[in-house]
Amino acid sequence: MSEIESGPLVLRAASSRVAKAVGSLFFAAFWNGIVSIFVVHLVRGAMRNSFEWFLACFLIPFVLIGLGLIAFFVHSFLGLFAPRLMVTLSTRRICLGDAIGLEWQFSGRVHSVRSLRIFVEGSEEATYRRGTSTSTDRHVFARIDIFKAIDPNQIGSGQAQLRLPNDSMPTFSARNNKLVWTLRVRGDIPRFPDINDSFVLDVLPARNGRGGA
């Protein structure tokens, strides 16, 4: 095994907080920009004493959706100020059955995190075509807790051990079926968006058909 394969692995979150905030801002601006055209038309009509009740009733759900998109953007924006997380695995080769060291380190407002949970989730994704539409069903077949804490002294940084069952299935990807392993980190922050980071793992079969030590 090469040094590159056996060296530590720094995990990167599956989704970027910045991308989420920017995407929500763009979609909220696009949606509300279109709806505002009709709202302005409605207001101008009311000012001329020709209020259009049908248009007003028709616009209600679209306005509510727009408000929801604004709230989602605000939530995503506040999430930018949540503590930043770095997760490091002791090896790049993640095999079923192996005991792998895991380290995490928060930076930022760590004192705001009231509880922390780190776990691994295995899921199967199957894509179906129904008529002209395509849908994907997701089934979680494994959920393995790695670490839980409510003590602030244990949340900011720490170490744990990751071990996936050697009789489970490795990562698999085909056209219509996938087996995905994901490391998830959940942190509860009162009155603020919670930490909800996910890291996709590339899991290999057990060594020689057996779990490592």
pLDDT of 213 reads 40
Instruction: Taking residues 115-129, report their average pLDDT.
Output: 90
Q: Please, what is the average pLDDT of the chain?
A: 86
Instruction: Taking residues 169-185, report their average pLDDT.
Output: 90
pLDDT of 12 reads 76
Topology adopted by domain 82-204: Immunoglobulin-like (2.60.40)
Predicted TM-score of the model (pTM): 0.74
Instruction: Taking residues 151-163, report their average pLDDT.
Output: 90
pLDDT band at 211 (very low <50, low <70, confident <90, very high): very low
Enumerate the domain spans of the chain. 19-79, 82-204
pLDDT tens, residue by residue, 2-26:
444 567 888 877 667 788 889 999 9
Residue 57 has pLDDT above 80, yes or no: yes
| CB atoms inside a 10 Å sphere around CB 54 | 7
Non-local CB neighbours of 169 within 8 Å, separated by 6+ positions: 122, 179
Whether the Cβ atoms of residue 31 and residue 69 lie closer than 8 Å to each other: yes
Distance CA 164, CA 211 (A): 9
Residue 51 has pLDDT above 90, yes or no: no
